[in-house]
């Protein structure tokens, strides 16, 4: 069987880390990405095929050329607040785009899929930690787009034999511990990179999006999971499918919730720098608290997340951030040395 895996969104934050984990496991990732939200420089562990998931002809050619054993489908828009303001952008990319991908997989006879879903499918939870059987009632178009895809993927199994592991991640955090990869969005919606930029004085303090939530300190609580632990889970999910394991949906989280204020305090500990902040309005589409129960992923896939500590996640993101800031200076110094 082919050891090639087509990774849509492989230039993005989680997809690029998954490519590294696949390569480390002896598999051959091929990134398929339109580079709209991920940089070319993050594609380090196999070829890059530039293309859009909505482009059926381009997908057909790539699947024909590489004959992959599976597709890992990360490509999507993934920002909660943005999805509330522009729902059609989200349904077009995440639903219509993913349908084009599934059609191309069906036509090419590629029947194994690892799909990036999210805890945003649950909406405002009735109880935490959230298990996979918790009712789904997304409160933003982003979460709804992923819920729709979960349903569409499930319908494809009896129809043409698609088998899928759907992974519902909680909040991806951290960065590759070797410093090779990180998080690179512009603009950046995510909390931890914004906290680190506030520590560096690169923005006018952190805006805390609401401090009147029904949580212990009034700020939103999330379950942060290291991106490299997520990447490892993808390799295990792929092996499960290749070993003829059944389709399933699994949560990926640490089971610990941290508020926005607690993340800021941890970042002050890790960086040794004060983080200026102020309270802004709530961000539309934000549930107060999301904490996951990942017992099933541990039991079925044998997944053992190793980087659960929030301080480790922030330290890895911090090291990578400092390296990125140094890189342009190093390049400038090298060109000065060359011309001298």
Tell me which of ligand NAD, ligand UPG, none is bound by residue 290, counting a contact when its beta carbon lies within the kind-specific cut-off of 5 to 8 angstroms: ligand UPG
CA 67/CA 71 separation, integer angstroms: 10
Please name every residue paired with 208 in a beta bridge, in sequence order, or none if there are none: 279
123-182 binders of ligand NAD (CB under 6 A): 169, 171-172
**CB closer to ligand NAD out of 54 and 284:** 54
| Residue 294 sits in the site that holds ligand NAD (CB under 6 A) | no
**CB closer to ligand NAD out of 112 and 171:** 171
| Residue 211 sits in the site that holds ligand UPG (CB under 6 A) | no
| Residue 275 sits in the site that holds ligand UPG (CB under 6 A) | no
Is cis: bond before 187, omega within 30 of 0? Answer: yes
Task: Please write down the HEC assignment for all residues of 203-244.
Answer: CCCEEEECCCCCCCCCCCEECEEEHHHHHHHHHHHHHHHHCC
Q: Minimum Å distance from CB 109 to ligand UPG?
A: 31
Angle at 79 between CA 327 and CA 7, to 5 degrees: 70
| Residue 34 sits in the site that holds ligand NAD (CB under 6 A) | yes
| Residue 33 sits in the site that holds ligand NAD (CB under 6 A) | yes
Tell me which of ligand NAD, ligand UPG, none is bound by residue 283, counting a contact when its beta carbon lies within the kind-specific cut-off of 5 to 8 angstroms: ligand UPG
**CB closer to ligand UPG out of 139 and 242:** 139
CA distances from 97 to 34, 156, 157, 167 (A): 12, 16, 19, 18
Tell me which of ligand UPG, ligand NAD, none is bound by residue 145, counting a contact when its beta carbon lies within the kind-specific cut-off of 5 to 8 angstroms: none
From the list 8-16, 128-136, 297-305, 326-334, the region that binds ligand NAD by CB under 6 A is: 8-16
Q: Give catalytic residue positions.
A: 142
Nearest alpha carbon to residue 150 among 191, 190, 94: 94
Farthest-apart Cα atoms in the chain, separation:
68
Q: Contact 194/127 with Cβ under 8 angstroms?
A: no
| Residue 237 sits in the site that holds ligand NAD (CB under 6 A) | no
Backbone angles phi, psi at 213, to 5 degrees: -80, 155
CA 96/CA 74 separation, integer angstroms: 14
Residue from 208, 235, 270, 291 in contact with ligand UPG (CB under 6 A) = 208
Q: Contact 71/5 with Cβ under 8 angstroms?
A: yes
* Contacting positions for ligand UPG (CB under 6 A): 78-80, 118-120, 170-171, 189-191, 194, 206-209, 220, 222, 260, 283, 286, 290
* Contacting positions for ligand NAD (CB under 6 A): 8-9, 11-15, 33-38, 52-54, 74-76, 78, 93, 97, 116, 118, 169, 171-172
């Amino acid at each position: 069987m082919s050891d090639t895996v087509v990774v849509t969104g492989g230039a993005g934050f989680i997809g690029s880390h998954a490519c590294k984990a696949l390569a480390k496991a002896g598999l051959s990732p091929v990134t398929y990405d339109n580079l709209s939200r991920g940089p070319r420089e993050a594609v380090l562990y196999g070829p890059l095929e530039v293309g859009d998931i909505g482009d059926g002809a381009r997908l057909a050619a790539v699947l024909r050329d590489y004959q992959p054993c599976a597709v890992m489908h990360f490509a999507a828009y993934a920002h909660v607040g943005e999805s509330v303001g522009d729902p059609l952008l989200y349904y077009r990319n995440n639903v219509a785009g993913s349908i084009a991908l599934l059609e191309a997989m069906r036509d090419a006879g590629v029947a194994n899929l690892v799909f990036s879903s999210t805890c945003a499918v649950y909406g405002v939870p009735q109880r935490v930690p959230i298990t996979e059987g918790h009712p789904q009632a997304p409160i933003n178009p982003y979460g709804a787009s992923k819920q729709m895809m979960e349903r569409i993927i499930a319908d494809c199994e009896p129809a043409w034999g698609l088998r899928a592991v759907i992974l519902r991640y909680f909040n991806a955090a951290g960065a590759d511990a070797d410093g090779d990869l990180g998080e690179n969005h512009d603009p950046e919606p995510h909390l931890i990179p914004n906290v680190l930029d506030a520590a560096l004085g690169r923005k006018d303090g952190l805006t805390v999006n609401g401090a009147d939530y029904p949580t212990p300190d009034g700020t939103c609580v999330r379950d942060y999971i290291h991106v490299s632990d997520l990447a490892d889970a993808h390799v295990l999910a792929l092996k499960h499918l290749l070993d003829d394991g059944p389709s399933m949906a699994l949560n990926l989280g640490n089971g610990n919730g941290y508020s926005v204020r607690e993340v800021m305090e941890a970042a002050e500990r890790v960086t040794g720098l004060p983080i200026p902040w102020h309270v802004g309005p709530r961000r539309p589409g934000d549930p107060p608290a999301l904490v996951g129960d990942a017992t099933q992923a541990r039991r079925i896939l044998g997944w053992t997340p190793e980087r659960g500590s929030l301080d480790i996640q922030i330290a890895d993101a911090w090291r990578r951030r400092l390296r990125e800031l140094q890189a342009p200076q190093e390049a400038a110094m090298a060109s000065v040395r060359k011309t001298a």
